[in-house]
Amino acid sequence: MGETVVVFLSLVLFSIASALAAMCLLFRRRERPHGQTSGLSRRVRERVRLRIAASLLDLGNHLMLCDEERRARQLRRRLSGRRARRLGLEAVALRLGARRADEVTLELTVGGRRQEDNPSRMLVLSCVVHHPVRAEHSAVEGLPQAGDCTWYWRVANRPSPGYRGPSTTCEVPSLERALVAYHARPFLPSGQGGRFLDEGFHDNATRPGATKDPNASA
């Protein structure tokens, strides 16, 4: 009888010890993946927060842009995207509404504005896609290229509708430089009798000794 009780108690204790050992092993196995998952979750949450912050910052910057700059940046993304590389710059430009200036040139008008204090002049910002004849084509340093096509930005200073006068253009590969030219204040003649093409100073700056005419503008 006594031996039976001892054996029974031994079996009970062994069962309890086995159960405790199994529970400890199970908890250890669960604890490690849980810790890894928690660390992974923290990294994912941090990346999501950074991505949201960057998106909100981009949205704020985008809303602060003028209409012309917003359209120009969107156009630049489209001309630099995979679709343009797959279909070609000419095809994408035509789908975006480009007009054909000549046999090898397409022009996408971004926007225009009247010049400050001079309604007879206006500035026009556009993107030009040029596809030269292969015999005359040569790589132009600094211009984005896709196959034989190149594209760049053009700022034209031309007479307003109903006015006459000379026209000048500024063509640059960088959108930022084109925007500087587009938003620049009008030039003033450097002296009496100064012509449009002779302008060399912004705002009220004139050469020393020259007579300043505040009412004259290009």
Range of 99's domain? 67-184
Statement to judge: residues 129 and 175 lie in one domain: yes
Q: Are residues 120 and 171 in the same domain?
A: yes
Q: Is residue 202 part of a domain?
A: yes
Best CA proximity match to 181, nearest among 101, 117, 126, 108: 126
Do residues 137 and 199 both lie within one domain? Answer: no
Q: Are residues 212 and 114 part of one domain?
A: no
Within this chain, do residues 190 and 112 fall inside the same structural domain, yes or no? no
Q: What are the residues whose beta carbons fall under 8 Å from the beta carbon of 191, sequence distance 6 or more? A: 206, 207, 210, 211
The two structure tokens encoding residue 128: 């030009």
Q: What's 184's DSSP letter?
A: P
58 found inside a domain: no
Within a domain: 52: no
Based on the fold, state whether residues 177 and 205 are members of the same structural domain: no
Is 160 found in the same domain as 88?
yes
Whether 171 and 106 map to the same domain: the answer is: yes
In a domain, 91, yes or no: yes
| Three-state secondary structure of 115-130 | ECCEEEEEEEEEEEEE
Asked whether the whole model's pTM tops 0.75, one would answer no
Asked whether residue 24 is assigned to any structural domain, the reply reads no
**Is 32 within a domain?**
no
Is 198 a domain residue?
A: yes
Residues 76 and 103 both lie in one domain = yes
Q: Do 88 and 189 reside in the same domain of the chain?
A: no
109/67 Cα distance (integer angstroms): 13
In a domain, 42, yes or no: no
Domain count within the chain: 2
One domain for residues 147 and 89: yes
Residues 136 and 195 in one domain: no
Please give the chain's pLDDT, 218 residues, in tens: 445 555 455 555 556 656 555 565 555 555 455 455 566 677 877 887 787 877 777 777 666 777 888 888 888 888 888 888 888 888 888 888 888 887 788 888 898 988 887 888 899 999 998 877 654 444 444 444 445 678 899 999 889 888 888 888 888 898 888 888 888 776 555 454 444 444 433 334 333 344 444 444 44
